[in-house]
Structure 1
Amino acid sequence: MTRRRHSDKQRGIALLEVMIALVILGIGLLGAIGMQARAYAALSDAGQRAEATLACEKLVGTISTDAANVANYALAEGATPNATIGPWVRETTAAIPGAVISVVVTPQARRSQVDISIRWTRKAGAAEIRQQLTAYIGS
């Protein structure tokens, strides 16, 4: 049996192919990790938006059952909440860290317009996220 001798030019080519394959695999894994991190951040944002929506809807439900006292639910941004709206504000800020809340009540003919705004930032330097809801409460 005769053995084929590889020329000196062919030596190490298999090692080079393996190294190139490892580089390509590494780039692919880094891309997958980056996508995972972005998906997690998007999921976190979606969760906080859902919390804000539920909080707004809960306040609208509470105000609807107490429509005669709708003016007591007004809250300026950054103001200290009164006893009527205080529990809801504490619950909301516990669910959404750093939340800044405002509730504007505008009396109209046979109803009141209630504008609820919750804003927060997910992390320092990130864009502000704002959830707003407008409801009309009949008196």
Structure 2
Amino acid sequence: MTQLPVRRPQRGITLVESLVAIVVMALGILGILGVQMRTLTDTQAGVRRAQAIRLIEDLGERLQNNPDALGNLSAYTATPTSSDNCASTACAPDRLATYDIKQWRTSVSDALPGSQVIVFIPQGGPRQLGVLIGWSETRYNQDGKSFTTAEKAALTAPLTVSGTNSAGAAVNCPANLICHLQYIQPTQRCTPWGLGGGALYCPN
């Protein structure tokens, strides 16, 4: 009588089980990478907003150092292409304002490449200066592709800000940009010379 072979219990894992394990592990790694990328994007957005706030604070400090910033608000709303070098020589308040805004706009371009800046005198607030800085956020949809124009507009809509300038016109955040709007208070340490006004007297 022929003796049947004894079946031994299965040991190890089959090829199918190995493939399933690899697929599950790959999906887990992709999920972790997706969370990390989203966290990195949110962190970058926070860093850019912090940079924008610090840049506006820097402009506010420049206004504080100008003895007649309040009397030269219109100079801060311009985009000068040239100015006196007020870092090495003393400048009058109007020339200092032109120098400060030119240097400040350069600082914004260096810190936030591709950004846009709008400096305006708000309506009903001649003793204030509105500063709006807009920057671009690089984001991708769930398929790893860049957002379309409509998707970018929908994404940035809750994050847009707007104001009103002295002429009553709206000052809006540029399309597809995320903006930060802040109002700063200028100073005026110069006083009119004499009761009739005229030239300004600026004490040292």
Indicate the TM-score class for this superposition, using the shorter chain for normalisation. Answer: 0.7 to 0.9
Task: Return the letter of the residue paired with 1:49.
Answer: R
Query: Superposed, which structure 2 residues align to 1:1-139 within 5 Å?
Result: 3-5=6-8, 14-66=14-66, 68-70=68-70, 71=73, 72-75=75-78, 79-80=79-80, 82-106=98-122, 112-123=127-138, 126=152, 127-139=176-188
Give the distance between the partners of 1:28 and 1:15, measured in 2 at CA: 20
Q: Which moved more, 1:55-64 or 1:15-24?
A: 15-24
Task: Structure 1: state its 5+ residue gaps.
Answer: none
TM-score, normalisation: structure 2: 0.54
Per-residue Cα deviation, 1:25-77 (whole angstroms, up to 9, x for no partner):
010001111112222222222111111110001101111221513312123xx
Deviation by residue 1:59-105 (Cα, 9 ceiling, x = unmatched): 01111221513312123xxx446434100000111100011111113
**Unaligned stretches of 5+ in structure 2?**
82-97, 139-145, 153-175, 189-204
Give the counterpart letter for 2:77 in structure 1: A
Q: Tell me the percent identity.
A: 24
Find the aligned partners of 2:100 and 2:59 in 1 and give their Cα distance.
Answer: 11
Letter in 1 for 2:178: I
Shift in alpha-carbon separation, 1:106–1:138, aligned structure 2, 3 A: farther
Please state whether the residue corresponding to 1:118 is helix, strand or coil: strand
**SS class of match (2:127):** strand
Structure with the bigger percentage of helix: 1
In the alignment, the residues of structure 2 paired with residue 19 and residue 120 of structure 1 have an alpha-carbon distance, to the nearest angstrom, of 45
Number of residue pairs matched by the alignment: 131
TM-score, normalised to structure 1, is: 0.76
User: Match of 1:4, as an amino acid?
Assistant: R
Residues 135, 177 of structure 2: 8 Å contact kept:
yes
Q: Superposition RMSD on alpha carbons, in Å?
A: 3.0
